[in-house]
Amino acid sequence: MKKVISVSLGEIVLKGRNRVHFENKLVHQIKRAISDIGYEKVYKEQGKVYIEGEESDFEDLINRLEKVFGLVYISPCIRTDKNIDSIEKAVLKAIEEKINKDSPKTFKVETNRADKTFKPESPKLSSDMGAVVLRNIDGLKVDVHNPETYIYIDIKESAYIYTDRIEGARGMPLGTNGKGMLLLSGGIDSPVAGYLMARRGVGITAVHYHSYPFTNERAEAKVKDLAKILSRYIGDIKMYSVNILEIQKEINKNCPAPEMTILSRRFMMRIAEKIAKDNNIQSLITGENLGQVASQTMEGITVTNDVVTLPVFRPLIGFDKINIIEIARNIETYETSILPFEDCCTVFLPSNPVIKPRIKDIEKSEELIDVEGLVERAIENMEVYHIK
Ligand code: ATP
Ligand code: MG
């Protein structure tokens, strides 16, 4: 008898012949998430992944596993030999532990037999084990419709017995759906956008724009902190930090003031795309949300979108702010996001930004500055951080 942690996989179960590839990615992500805690072994067995480790580490291990995308349920379980005697002992041990923890009054046994050669069949094993529990433990009744606890028995290469199923983060294993360049500001939205795309399996690289020395170092430190919080879910993040002060000054000097925000946003998109293409990253990700501010009108988004060819994912486009904040709180980026450091966008913020920009007008304004040269110099001078 040995305690192990089982994790059950979500949508990847449906992926047919890609399944092995997905499972391997998931095992990789699991190992990454728990490597500093330490474990003995991670192995696959008939549709589930199992983790062996010190029982005293289980709480920490589960805590990390809860942040790994692609997991549906996480269960501490007892692994034992596949014979009735051992299963009986494990079932009694599992229910005794459960009673000590949550004192349920009713239970139901549920068996899942991946090994079809094992006898008896599932319903019979469930009722046999139910009878064992009733014989040995006082004050517990069977309730097949609404039990306060389940006793799960999985018959695979070994037998696994458990009572708890902890909800995982779901989604798809990281790295199974391409890569995205996240435009990461210090705000509330973009970290949430990155999280949501990562949960669909997209590997995340980040780019941040600042206007140092007009914005201070603490603003950059804040964004690094946000990337660090995201890295709890997705592992190390590469973050490009790009100074756009020269660009903003040029726009400020030469172009109509109301176009400041939209023009700098176009530069952000251009630079992000250039870095993305140089690094085999196939998409851009922003925290844009329709109608939130002047640059996020339908027209504003059309104009910023026009300078890039990569697909731009805006997972928050239809969200209400209150829902975005809810996710930000859940993933623990909110408190950092609301720290009051100036963002580069507020440095030259126009008092009367254009709300319905037209591509023709904006392109005309850009003729007044050296767009290509500015982009090139910004990229030449950028810094790269590896956030762990
Ligand atoms: P956020 O909360 O993400 O800052 P926001 O509601 O403040 O979003 P904007 O400031 O208009 O919206 O920015 C829209 C999107 O443009 C952001 O979600 C982000 O993806 C990108 N962006 C804006 N400023 C920066 C920046 N300084 N560095 C990187 N990306 C940025
Ligand atoms: Mg912002």
CA of 239 to the centre of ligand 1 (A): 15
Q: How confident is the model at residue 345 (pLDDT cuts 50, 70, 90)?
A: low
Q: Is the CB of 243 under 6 A from ligand 1?
A: no
CA angle 74, 170, 323 (to 5 degrees): 125
Q: Tell me the two tokens of residue 305.
A: 């979108």
User: Ligand nearest 243 Cα, by number?
Assistant: 1
User: Ligand nearest 187 Cα, by number?
Assistant: 1
Q: Is the CB of 317 under 6 A from ligand 1?
A: no
Terminal-residue alpha carbon distance, the chain: 37
| Closest by Cα among 109, 3, 135 to 56 | 3
Q: How confident is the model at residue 14 (pLDDT cuts 50, 70, 90)?
A: low
Q: The pTM is what?
A: 0.91
Q: Provide the pLDDT for residue 53.
A: 96
Q: Provide the pLDDT for residue 4.
A: 98
User: Which of helix, strand or coil describes residue 44?
Assistant: strand
User: Ligand nearest 293 Cα, by number?
Assistant: 1
What number does the ligand 1 atom closest to the CA of 244 have? Answer: 27
Q: Tell me the two tokens of residue 296.
A: 């996020």
Distance CA 189, CA 192 (A): 5
Task: Examine the pLDDT at 195 and tell me if it is beyond 90.
Answer: yes
Q: Which helix (H) or strand (E) holds 71?
A: strand 71-80
The mean per-residue pLDDT over the stretch 17-31 comes to: 87
Mean predicted lDDT score pLDDT of the chain: 94
CA of 234 to the centre of ligand 2 (A): 22
> Could you give the angle at which helices 359-366 and 298-305 cross, rounded to 10 degrees?
50
Q: Tell me the two tokens of residue 1.
A: 């008898």
Q: How confident is the model at residue 111 (pLDDT cuts 50, 70, 90)?
A: very high
Query: From atom 4 of ligand 1, which residue's Cα is the shortest distance away?
Result: 187
Q: Is the CB of 295 under 6 A from ligand 1?
A: yes
Q: Tell me the two tokens of residue 36.
A: 């500093």
Distance CA 273, CA 308 (A): 7
By mean pLDDT, which of 32-46, 55-69, 102-116, 290-304 is the weakest?
A: 290-304
What number does the ligand 1 atom closest to the CA of 337 have? Answer: 2
Distance CA 158, CA 81 (A): 5
Distance CA 318, CA 248 (A): 30
Q: Provide the pLDDT for residue 106.
A: 98
Query: From atom 17 of ligand 1, which residue's Cα is the shortest distance away?
Result: 287
The mean per-residue pLDDT over the stretch 282-297 comes to: 89
Contacts of 25 (CB under 8 A, 6+ apart): 70, 173, 174, 175, 176
By mean pLDDT, which of 156-170, 243-257, 299-313, 339-353 is the weakest?
A: 339-353
Q: How confident is the model at residue 167 (pLDDT cuts 50, 70, 90)?
A: very high
Task: Examine the pLDDT at 13 and tell me if it is beyond 60.
Answer: no
CA of 186 to the centre of ligand 1 (A): 7
Query: From atom 26 of ligand 1, which residue's Cα is the shortest distance away?
Result: 185
Beta strands in 99-201 (DSSP E): 106-113, 141-142, 149-155, 159-162, 166-167, 179-183
Contact present, 38 and 64 (Cβ < 8 Å): no
pLDDT in tens, 363-386: 999 999 999 999 999 999 999 999
Task: Examine the pLDDT at 340 and tell me if it is beyond 90.
Answer: no
User: Which of helix, strand or coil describes residue 78?
Assistant: strand
The upper half-sphere exposure of residue 161, i.e. CA atoms within 13 Å in the direction of its Cβ, equals 27
Q: Provide the pLDDT for residue 16.
A: 66
User: Ligand nearest 289 Cα, by number?
Assistant: 1
Distance CA 366, CA 237 (A): 33
What is the signed CA dihedral for 151, 155, 158, 160, rounded to 10 degrees? -20
DSSP string, 290-337: TTSSGGGSHHHHHHHHTT--S-EE-TTTT--HHHHHHHHHHTT-HHHH
Distance CA 65, CA 30 (A): 7
Q: Provide the pLDDT for residue 122.
A: 97
pLDDT in tens, 205-233: 999 999 999 888 888 899 999 999 999 99
CA of 369 to the centre of ligand 1 (A): 23
Residues within 5 Å of ion ligand 2, judged at the Cβ atom: 185, 187
Query: From atom 6 of ligand 1, which residue's Cα is the shortest distance away?
Result: 189
The CA-atom distances, in angstroms, between 374 and each of 262, 279, 337, 381 are 16, 20, 29, 11
Q: Is the CB of 293 under 6 A from ligand 1?
A: yes
Handedness of CA 283, 284, 286, 291 (dihedral sign): negative
